[in-house]
Amino acid sequence: PGPWHPLWEAPKLCKPEERPIPEGELAAYPGLSFCPTVRVVYFRKHMDKHRSRKIVVPTDYWMLDLAAIMALVATKVTPSLFLVNVGAAPFAAGEDGERKPIAGDHCTVLWHMGYRGVNFDPHFNNSARPHLKGFPRALLDGNQWSPLQLPSMLVKWKVPQDLDVLKIDVDSFDCEFLNNTLRAGFLPKVVIIEASTWFPPPLKFMLRFRGTSSPDAPMLTGCSLQMAADILKPFGFSLLQYTMEDGWFVQDQFMELFGAIERDPVKLYRVGNPILYLSFNKPYVDINKLLDLQHKPQEMLEEMRYEIKRWKGMMDPDWTQQAVYDLSV
């Protein structure tokens, strides 16, 4: 679909007798659907940096990267070879064109595969410019656009409505950016969005944009996995995987390309975040108690409301009073 690169060779689904999981079971880790197994190391490396010594990342934790996903999608449709990266400063982890872990993010590998696109992030001056050096098709926008302004900026940058990838990681109004972009008519093939680990499914949480910047505090920012799934479902998306704190969604028309995989957000949250990563090492949330209540949604919601109330008592009131959010099940 673009300049030749070995990562454009799509992985092959396992034959029934080759699957490395018991017959009839769904693959919790989508990389296991393929033979040979798609082994993306940077997810595991990133998790190793944040786990406690008592918790070990499962040996079969093999998630799919954008290289594998887009190679599979390209077997069914012609890619646009265009991506939009909202929150593009390389503060997390990525991989190069040989799948070696490097500083970057989930989109980094696609620049090696001939992609073009726009990277939005106000931190560009001190981070993303060196990171994207050598990729002239990786365009930069260092302005701090609001969720209401982003769609018009996509038009200004001539982003095709059938772009391949939309990645959002802004630690604030992630759901608002997602919703406004979709409603403006942009329909990516793949969406990656940071989904707060503080709110396990079926909790639905999103920070609302009310014309002010987000409160500079943990927990009451972002978007939950269930809320992201609910926003995307009417636009024809299904959850593919959850990698520690990021939800990966693909258009329904492509789900068959990934074989028999688990799709339940409740289960994918747990298998995708085996180290129970919470972003901040402070006792704001009793995550184990919330997980125990996942099959009692109303009790889980009441527990979350209690924990938010308790957390507000520990925080600077100027931070917490700015937060306008939705929370439900």
Classify the phi-psi angles of 244: left when phi > 0, otherwise alpha if psi is within -120 to 50, otherwise beta.
left
Question: Where in the sequence is the domain holding 190, given as residue range(s)?
Answer: 6-328
Domain for residue 167, yes or no? yes
Domain for residue 16, yes or no? yes
pLDDT at 217: 63
Separation CA 162–CA 185 (nearest Å): 9
Check if the beta carbon of residue 97 is closer than 8 Å to that of residue 112.
yes
The two structure tokens encoding residue 5: 């690169």
Query: pLDDT band at 213, cuts 50/70/90?
Result: low
Higher pLDDT, 316 or 310: 310
Range 46-65 average pLDDT = 91
| 232-282 per-position pLDDT tens digit | 999 999 999 999 999 999 999 999 999 999 999 999 999 999 999 987 656
Domain for residue 57, yes or no? yes
The sign of the dihedral angle between the CA atoms of 35, 70, 238, 141 is positive
pLDDT at 103: 86
Question: Would the pTM count as exceeding 0.85?
Answer: yes
Range 7-15 average pLDDT = 97
Domain for residue 1, yes or no? no
Burial class for 76, CB neighbours closer than 10 Å (0-12, 13-18, 19+)? middle
Separation CA 195–CA 197 (nearest Å): 6
Domain for residue 81, yes or no? yes
Within 10 A of 291 (CB to CB), how many other CB atoms are there?
A: 15
Instruction: Inform me whether the pLDDT recorded for 219 exceeds 90.
Output: no
| 101-138 per-position pLDDT tens digit | 998 899 999 999 999 999 998 876 665 567 788 899 99
pLDDT at 301: 98
Number of domains in the chain: 1
